[in-house]
């Protein structure tokens, strides 16, 4: 009997033939199997082998099966359902009752009628009813119909409203770039989107590309299509402005929105973010972001990386954001002094690439990880933490170091050329691995005596 064994999950079941192997008799010629889903046979090297007993169609660990099936196209799953129904292996679809459709992987454009027909087939026989959980679409606003009107908006409305609007929980929309530079499309019919799309169960909305601001008819329609949005991500929306965040998005979803990510949005300058339930906020790569006023008592993650000119006052941050655990200011060019006093709950701080940073003074009992690489002006570091176990301060122009971390095991100070022993205070009773190569510190033996610990390895001078 032939057996198909899974080696690794694939993006689509249509690509699996190169990732699977078939048991062959000794002396047989190696070749990729061809999986004929409709006949249930496996073709290898021109020979057709039909199993006498029902074959094992999929031999994949249960923890991997759901991942594999979740990335399969609807067409692949329909073919697989046909084979499995012939051999009473319907149980594999227990993990696939929520589907994810990527429009670009379908052999031809997915119409609302065709999508409804494909979804309906999963309720036939003993197969449990399958719902469409998410869709990844490419929105081509410049595709023109016969009369010069855009056909993509109507296609989007029909597909979402008529086929899966009652069950869709996740929508990702990629905006296609303009093919001809300088081309100006005709104006979109604003009435086309008004109360057309109804996505009552939509919880995750991700838009990649320029669709304008919240008054754009498409964006407004999607935001108004649901009142239960939990996760919102807008990437590359250059016209998104402060009012869109303060006056439209946050008020509408004040009872549901827990994660908001606004990436590469040049229109954001001085937004005010107020939310009693927001847990994660990202405003990365926003080039004009100057300041950010926060009133989010439940916020645990704040990512402002690559927002070069944002001015963040770290002193007193624990009072405004008492539950904050992750903070990223990577790539900030205006931050000079990073002072984070106790009793902050911060566990992860990323200050890498802060070109103006000169001093760090952190007292966080729960701090696990600190990044300071490529801080070309950093001269003073003072850290107190009961949780951090590894600290890398290598290749920095340090002149003064104070480290009081009882659980610290690994410390790297190599290539800190200006660091002298009289300006170095290290109280780390658990310290085991130290690298002080390329510094002006004492010899390895003196370093061991100074910290009163036994070091298993010390980098030589």
pTM: 0.72
Strand, coil or helix: 198: coil
pLDDT score for 325: 95
Cα gap 127→85, rounded to integer Å: 8
Torsion of CA 88, 94, 100, 102, to 10 degrees: -20
Cis peptide before 447 (omega within 30 of 0): no
pLDDT digits (tens, 9 = 90+) for 348-404: 999 999 999 999 999 999 999 999 999 999 999 999 999 999 999 999 999 999 999
pLDDT digits (tens, 9 = 90+) for 186-227: 444 445 455 567 788 889 988 887 765 555 677 777 888 888
Cα gap 142→177, rounded to integer Å: 9
pLDDT tens, the chain, 461 aa long: 333 333 333 333 333 333 333 333 344 333 333 333 334 333 333 333 343 444 444 555 655 555 555 556 656 666 665 555 554 444 444 444 445 555 555 555 566 666 666 666 554 443 444 556 667 766 655 444 344 444 456 666 666 766 666 777 888 887 765 444 444 444 444 454 555 677 888 899 888 877 655 556 777 778 888 889 999 999 888 888 999 999 999 999 999 999 999 999 999 999 999 999 999 999 999 999 999 999 999 999 999 999 988 888 887 788 889 999 999 999 999 999 999 887 789 999 999 999 999 999 999 999 999 999 999 999 999 999 999 999 999 999 999 999 999 999 999 999 998 888 888 889 999 999 988 888 876 666 656 655 544 344 444 33
The gap from C-alpha 87 to its chain's centroid, in whole angstroms, comes to: 39
CB atoms under 10 Å from CB of 18, counted, come to 9
Interhelix angle 112-120/74-86, nearest 10 degrees: 20
**How much is the CA Rg of the chain, to the nearest whole Å?**
29
Q: How many helices (H) and strands (E) does the chain have?
A: 9, 28
CA within 13 Å, CB half, 53: 3
Q: Where are the domains of the chain?
A: 4-58
Cα gap 47→34, rounded to integer Å: 11
């Amino acid at each position: 009997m032939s057996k198909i064994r899974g080696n690794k999950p694939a993006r689509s079941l249509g690509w699996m033939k190169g990732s699977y192997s078939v048991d062959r008799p000794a002396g047989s010629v190696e070749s990729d199997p061809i999986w004929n889903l409709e006949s249930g046979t496996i073709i290898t090297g021109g020979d057709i082998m039909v199993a006498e007993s029902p074959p094992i169609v999929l031999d994949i660990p249960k923890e991997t099966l759901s991942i594999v099936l979740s990335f399969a196209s609807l067409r692949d799953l329909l073919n697989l359902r046909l084979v499995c129904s012939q051999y009473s292996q319907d149980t594999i679809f227990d993990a696939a009752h929520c589907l994810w459709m990527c429009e670009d992987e379908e052999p031809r454009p997915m119409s609302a009628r065709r999508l409804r027909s494909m979804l309906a087939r999963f309720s036939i026989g003993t197969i449990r009813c399958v719902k469409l959980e998410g869709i990844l679409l490419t929105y081509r606003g410049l595709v023109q119909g016969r009369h010069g009107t855009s056909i993509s908006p109507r296609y989007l409305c029909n597909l979402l409203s008529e086929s899966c609007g009652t069950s869709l929980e996740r929508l990702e929309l990629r905006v296609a770039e303009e093919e001809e530079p300088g081309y100006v499309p005709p104006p979109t019919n604003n009435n086309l989107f008004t109360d057309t799309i109804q996505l009552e169960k939509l919880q995750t909305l991700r838009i990649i590309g320029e669709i304008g601001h919240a008054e754009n008819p498409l964006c407004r329609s999607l935001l108004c299509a649901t009142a239960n949005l939990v996760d919102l991500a807008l990437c590359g929306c250059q016209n998104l402005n402060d009012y869109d965040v303060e006056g439209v998005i946050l008020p509408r979803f004040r009872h549901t929105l827990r994660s908001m990510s606004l990436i590469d949005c040049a229109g954001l300058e001085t937004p005010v973010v107020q939310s009693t339930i927001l847990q994660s906020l990202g405003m990365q790569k926003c080039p004009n972001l100057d300041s950010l006023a926060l009133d989010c008592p439940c916020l645990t993650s704040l990512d402002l990386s690559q927002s070069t000119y944002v001015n963040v006052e770290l002193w007193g941050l624990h009072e405004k954001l008492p539950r904050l655990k992750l903070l990223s200011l990577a790539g900030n060019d205006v931050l000079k002094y990073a002072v984070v006093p106790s009793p902050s709950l911060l566990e992860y701080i990323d200050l890498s690439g802060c070109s103006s940073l000169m001093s760090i003074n952190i007292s966080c009992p729960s701090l696990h990880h600190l990044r300071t690489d490529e801080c070309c002006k950093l001269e003073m570091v003072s850290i107190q933490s009961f949780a951090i176990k590894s600290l890398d301060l290598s290749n920095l122009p340090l002149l003064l170091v104070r480290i009081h971390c009882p659980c610290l095991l690994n410390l790297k100070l190599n290539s800190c050329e200006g660091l002298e022993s009289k300006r170095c205070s290290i109280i780390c009773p658990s310290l085991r691995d130290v690298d002080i190569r390329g510094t002006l510190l004492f010899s390895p033996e003196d370093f061991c005596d100074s910290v009163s610990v036994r070091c298993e390895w010390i980098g030589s001078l």
